[in-house]
Amino acid sequence: MTDIWGSSDFAYICLKDTVRTTSFQTAINRTVQPGDVVLEVGAGTGILSLFAATAGARKVFAVEIDEYLCECLAETVRANGLTGIIEILPGDARDIDLPSAVDVVISELIDTGLVEEPQIPVLNSLLERGVVTTATRFIPDAYLTEVQLMWMDERLYGHVIRAPRHEWPVFAGDPTWEQFQTLERSARATVWSGRFADGPHEPEVSRNLTLPVRPGGPVNALKLCGQVVLAEGLQVAATNAMNGDKLLPLGREYDLSTLDLSVSYGMGKGLGSFLAQVKEP
């Protein structure tokens, strides 16, 4: 994907996202103890590794798959005088040699529903390889995936657009971004939840749901949303750069009082794996 999309751009957006970044800082300060060995996968700009070092970690292994970001990370580590504490490991965390039995894993490979980024495949690999143990602490600690029936105006710029809509909070109410009408047509329903320490987790998710439809109009879309539990008592929903709600068209309108819905997807396999089927009476 980095062949067609700038790798440093989104890492910078994550850095700029105050809610995301300071929430992780709070979780790291609560979780990392002096003398800990910390592994961060998907280090990006390195800010979370810097937080871990500041919190008292004896050693921080910062894994980053992008070569250019690794070069920037090396400069950042030197500039902060942390060369002896933060070690950069270039490559995919599923393939490269890693330390065993680390105390804390920081893994912000979080996207909505854990569908598009490899949070679960990477953590499963760390568990299976013994990099983490039953004593390892995880940041984030857990995740909750939910769906909600919606109606949305499918017309944008005078045309029907049936493609996923990534509704980051920063877009809301800003006239320089196209705004369109949506209506919530049901309560949210849980599709998946789990603590990362309880893995390995089966990446294939399949759920059958029966959702009462609120009166007043049809349903033509599904909202995919989630909650990130960074640490006990510290839960974060959509931020400007993490976990933004996704609106997924169902392909037609359904005017029913109750929808029986089958949802399936593969965590880490992308939105192309996401399938929502309505079972009509």
Q: Residue 6's pLDDT band (boundaries 50, 70, 90)? A: low
How far apart CA 76 and CA 54 sit, in angstroms, is 14
Residue numbers annotated as active site: 108, 117
Task: For residue range 75-89, list pLDDT tens digits in order.
Answer: 999 999 999 999 999
Pick the CATH number of 7-108 from 3.40.109.10, 3.50.50.60, 2.60.40.10, 3.40.50.150: 3.40.50.150
| Mean pLDDT estimate for the chain | 95
pLDDT score recorded for residue 5: 55
pLDDT score recorded for residue 280: 82
**Three-state secondary structure along the chain?**
CCCCCCHHHHHHHHHHCHHHHHHHHHHHHHHCCCCCEEEEECCCCCHHHHHHHHCCCCEEEEEECCHHHHHHHHHHHHHCCCCCCEEEEECCCCCCCCCCCCCEEEECCCCHHHCCCCHHHHHHHHHHCCCCCCCCEEECCEEEEEEEEEEECCEECCEECCCCEEECHHHCCCCCCCCCCEEECCCCEEEEEEEHHHCCCCCEEEEEEEEECCCCCCEEEEEEEEEEEEECCEEECCCCCCCCEEEEEEEEEECCCEEEEEEEEECCCCHHHCEEEEECC
Mean pLDDT on 2-27: 86
Residue 3 has pLDDT above 80, yes or no: no
Quick one: 160 exposed, middle or buried, by C-beta within 10 A (0-12, 13-18, 19+)?
Answer: exposed
pLDDT score recorded for residue 182: 96
Task: For residue range 132-188, list pLDDT tens digits in order.
Answer: 998 999 999 999 999 999 999 999 999 999 999 999 999 998 999 999 899 999 999
pLDDT score recorded for residue 1: 44
| Annotation: CATH topology of 144-279 | Hnrnp arginine n-methyltransferase1 (2.70.160)
Query: Residue with structure tokens 């390195």?
Result: 46
Domain chopping of the chain, boundaries: 7-108, 144-279
How far apart CA 279 and CA 262 sit, in angstroms, is 8
Listed in sequence order, the residues at least 6 apart from 121 whose beta carbon sits closer than 8 Å to its beta carbon are 94, 203, 267, 268
How far apart CA 162 and CA 3 sit, in angstroms, is 26
Mean pLDDT on 112-119: 96
Mean pLDDT on 112-120: 97
